[in-house]
Amino acid sequence: MRHLGLKVRMAVAGTILFAFYMVIATIAWSMTGSIALVAVLSLLLVAGQYKLGKWLAVRSVGAKDLPEDRFADIHRTTERLSDDMDIPKPRLMYAQMGSPNAFAVGRKGSGTVVISTELMQLLDDDELEGVIAHELAHIMNRDVVTMVLGQSVAMLIGWGVYFLVRQVADGIFGWVLAWIASIIANMLVMIFVLVISRVREYAADEDAAYYTGNPEALASALAKLGHVNNQVEETRIDDSVSAMCIFGVQKGLFASLFATHPPIEKRIQRLRQ
């Protein structure tokens, strides 16, 4: 089985995340007395975040449909890879992002891949194929749904901790304590979500290398993206969209702990092994 170790690590992180959700669901059940209500509200939250997040991501970069007559090669490449991965061809869009990048949103049957004009100008055909395959792998593996679910669980846990603390602490002190506890709880769960995010990037790289049969092309593309993006000071890509891009920018003291992507050097090294 391809990338078995990665799948095991993702399963472990997902199991811990689910355990967190069950704790908060149990607390909510004890407060409302209705497990059905808890389940319905949870599903509505996830569905709302998924739909709104997809729309906002595309809108935030001003993406437009990629004309098939002008970019026939990209459409043919995407269609061929989609057939190989046994997924419907996603909607292809392009945007001026201020830096070379690409991201995927949606799931099988309703996916969208957005490619920056800067990326199309930077990469050659084989490298661009590797990037497209990487994004299609995210759709094939339902990574966007997984990440939205994880973020929703983190939010639910933050809310649950807040209300739980408020049950035992009154007044201004109780409000401050509950607020701090909810932030800490949310942050701890998001660490597990970000572990899943980093694992999914490795898996998408491996899937792209497998379906293109050309791991060196994707490694070369990542090297170019790393070199150029590290010199870019400002882009149209906000933090929420950056988490879905093939190249995510993490800077600062806690970059390695809260990074959505593994170090680009490690990704390149794994592809070239």
Token pair listed for 164: 């739980």
Number of C-alpha atoms within 13 angstroms, CB side, residue 31?
15
How is 91-151 classified by DSSP, letter by letter?
EEEEE--SSS-EEEES-TTS-EEEEEHHHHHHS-HHHHHHHHHHHHHHHHTTHHHHHHHHH
Token pair listed for 34: 């209705």
Catalytic position from the list 118, 135, 201, 206: 135
Token pair listed for 183: 């932030």
- Are 82 and 113 in contact by the 8 Å Cβ rule? The answer is no
How far apart (Å, rounded) are the C-alpha atoms in residues 208 and 210? Answer: 5
How many residues appear in the chain? 273
How far apart (Å, rounded) are the C-alpha atoms in residues 116 and 198? Answer: 22
Strands 112-116 and 91-95: parallel
Closest to 246 in 3D by CA, of 99, 60, 101 = 101
Cβ atoms < 10 Å from Cβ of 266: 13
Element (H, E) at 64: strand 64-65
Residue 196: partners with Cβ closer than 8 Å, 6 or more residues away: 10, 13, 14, 17, 146, 147, 150
Whether 135 is a known active-site residue: answer yes
Catalytic residues: 135
